[in-house]
Structure 1
Amino acid sequence: MVNPVWLRSLIALAETGSFTRAAAALDLTQAAVSQHIRQLEGQVGPVVIRRPRLLEWTPTGEALLDHARELEAADRRLAARLVGADALSGEVTIVTPGSVGLLLYPLLLDLQQASPGLVMRHRFAPDPEVIAAVLDNRSELGITTQRSEDARLAAEPFLHEPLELIVPAAEKVRGWVDLERIGFVDHPDGISMATRLLSRRFSGNPGVRKLPVRGFSNQIGLILEPVARGFGFTVLPRYAREAFRRPEAIRVLEGTPEVVDTLWLTYRSEWPLSARARHVVSRLSEMVAAGPSRA
């Protein structure tokens, strides 16, 4: 194996074109740089021919230079990967539930557009899959609707998201009997979310499972489509409703008490987040707080 100190002198010599300037660049004496080159040549043969005002590289010298530059680049890549030092370059992986993902993904693209060195990898998944992805190191960041108790994971409050009762825009709802008349548009978390909200809004009701079901969708971006067409009402987190492209066709039925979920930023507790992940989390928090303008 070639001594890396000798190779650094070789690169400096090639970049500066003289032993004197190479020594100055490395903060060494000229004699030290000359000795490094002689030691290299003693190991591999002639690498450079010294001519007046000119250095001519031998084929062996050219091969060594290519090798030295590859090692130098590999060292930089390894250092960046180990510490995630560059906040504006590299891959950021994040897994989220559907509703908050509809909010965050466009913001992630805004960040990538502002810093093209970043590459955003986002995936939708329910809480158990989010936790598994972070634990298996398939994703550096996760958002969960429930705080994980696994000691290997750190969890900190990131966002708050209310549940909303959403009805067709033309519907009048004065009580439970109107919900029975309109009917329920279900989704994978529909019964759970509706039970949590409606049990507080309409005390003494016979239960969500007694409502007529008018439709079902497992696609977060499509659940409000049947509501917009007047087929029924549903209960969804706010960010899913805000992402719907036809807000004029639906209406949020305001009321109290509210049901507000905490969304948890989840990551491995045993090592620090990369600089780029910290940058993305910080900017996302700022953008969400700024509202639709993201100012």
Structure 2
Amino acid sequence: MMNPQWLKSFATLAELGSFTDSAERLGITQAAVSQHIRHLELQLGPVILRSKRPLELTPAGSALLDYCQQIDRAHHHLMLRLSDAEATCGEVSVISPGSIGLRLYPLLLSLQEQHRDLTVRHRFAPDSEVIDAVLHNRYEMGLVTHKPDDKRLEAHPFAEEPLELIVPANTRVTGWNDLEKLGYIDHPDGQAMATRLLGRLFPGNPGIRNLPQRGFSNQIGLILEPVARGLGFAVLPRYARLAFTRPETIEVAAEGNALVDTIWLVHRAEWPLSARAQLALAWLQRHL
């Protein structure tokens, strides 16, 4: 790695175009600036054309200046990430299950519109991937539907989200026979969700596996599309329904008997959340 002082002298010389002015700004002698440039040129070849006034960079000099600027940007980014004093700069990183994520991401973008120096990085993932990503510091915080028992993680209740039985608009469901007529639209978590909710709504039912399956999708934003077209029913968390773009084509059956799940916020236990993450959490909890 090249000496940082040499790089600083070169970047200043590239900006000012004068050894004398560069030495004055850096608080060193002109001879010291010249020596720093010679050290660089021993490694890279000529980086400036001394015969030109003002000085001109060679192709190697242009590449070196770009390298210096990248270092400056990386240093600035590091300082933002390490600074808890500045809550409105830097990256907010969140990983969450699909349903709650559909609600969170637009809210985070609204926060970013107010603070343009923030960067939002969000990923949809199941609980197991959320926990792994937070444990390995790929994301600062995550949301899960089951409280983890890993001592390396802190977990706090974040929100409540009911499971809902969602049917085509103007569809009446009074018993298990109505579900058999509709058929089931499945998704990756569908069997588990449907078993839990339908067990409450229709005690003693023969089980979700005994219903005709009319479709399957692993895209959270598309699961309700076949329901909207009258092709079946689905069991999903509420935020997935609220994010659906054609709410008039679906409705919630047996709404008063919803099964409510707790959404848990998780982060590494060894250190506190950054000021940016705390700002984002406060924003989300105000607007959810």
TM range, smaller chain:
0.7 to 0.9
Per the alignment, do residues 43 and 273 of structure 1 end up closer, same or farther by CA in structure 2, a change over 3 Å counting?
farther
Give the Cα separation in 1 of the matches to 2:228 and 2:72: 59
1:134 is aligned to 134
Q: Distance between the aligned counterparts of 1:221 and 1:77, measured in 2?
A: 34
Structure 2 CA distance, aligned partners of 1:204 and 1:193? Answer: 16
Shift in CA distance, 45/101, structure 1 to aligned 2, threshold 3 Å? closer
Report SS of the residue matched to 2:222: coil
Partner of 1:18: none
1:90 correspondence with 2:73: no
Larger-Rg structure: 1
In the alignment, is the contact (CA less than 8 A) between 2:159 and 2:264 conserved in 1? yes
SS of equivalent residue, structure 1 residue 270: coil
How far apart, CA to CA, are the structure 2 residues paired with 1:251 and 1:229?
A: 12
Q: Distance in 2 between matches of 1:181 and 1:45?
A: 84
Q: Residues of 2 paired with 1:165 and 1:143: CA distance?
A: 23
SS at match of 1:92: strand
2:210 maps to 1:210: yes
Against the structure 1 CA distance between its residues 99 and 74, is the aligned structure 2 distance closer, same or farther, given a 3 Å change threshold?
Answer: closer
Mapped partners of 1:223, 1:285: distance in 2: 26
1:260-293, Cα deviation, whole Å (9 max, x unpaired): 11001111110111111111111111111xxxxx
Per-residue deviation at 1:172?
1.6
Q: For 1:95-110, list aligned pairs within 5 A.
A: 95-110=95-110
Aligned residue in 2 for 1:146: 146
CA contact (8 A) 2:168 2:233 kept: yes
Classify the secondary structure of the residue corresponding to 1:240: helix
Percent identity over the alignment is 57
1:162 aligned counterpart, secondary structure: strand
Tell me how far apart the structure 2 counterparts of residues 122 and 277 of structure 1 sit (CA, whole Å).
Answer: 12
In the alignment, the residues of structure 1 paired with residue 207 and residue 193 of structure 2 have an alpha-carbon distance, to the nearest angstrom, of 12
How many Å separate the matches in 2 of 1:239 and 1:2? 51
Structure-1 residue corresponding to 2:250 = 250
What is the count of residue pairs matched by the alignment?
Answer: 240
Verify: 1:164 aligned to 2:164, yes or no: yes
Structure 1 segment 241-280 matched on structure 2, within 5 A: 241-280=241-280
The gaps in structure 2 that reach 5 residues or longer are 6-26, 35-54, 56-69
Q: Secondary structure at the match of 2:221?
A: coil
> How many angstroms does 1:137 deviate by?
0.6
Q: Which amino acid aligns with 1:195?
A: T
The amino acid of 2:138's aligned partner reads R
Change (3 A) 1:214 1:89: same
- Aligned pairs for 1:215-254 within 5 A: 215-254=215-254
Aligned equivalents of 1:87 and 1:115: distance in 2? 10
Distance 1:191 1:86, change over 3 A: same
Q: Deviations over 1:97-129 (max 9, x none)?
A: 000010011111111111100010111000010
What corresponds to 2:61 in structure 1?
none
Task: Provide closer, same or farther for how the CA distance between residues 231 and 44 of structure 1 changes in structure 2, counting only shifts above 3 A.
Answer: same
Runs of 4+ in 1 over 6 A off after TM superposition: 70-76
Which residue does 2:185 correspond to in 1? 185
Distance in 2 (alpha carbons) for counterparts of 1:209 and 1:2: 66
Counterpart CA distance in 2 for 1:185 and 1:154 is 35
Residue identity in the other structure for 2:83: V
Give the whole-Å Cα distance in 1 for the aligned partners of 2:33 and 2:213.
83
What is the DSSP-based 3-state SS (H/G/I as helix, E as strand, rest coil) of the residue aligned with 1:113?
A: helix
2:155–2:264 Cα contact (<8 Å) kept: yes
Inter-partner Cα distance in structure 2 for 1:140 and 1:89:
15
Which whole-Å CA distance do the structure 1 matches of 2:280 and 2:262 have between them? Answer: 20
In 1, Cα distance between equivalents of 2:269 and 2:80: 20
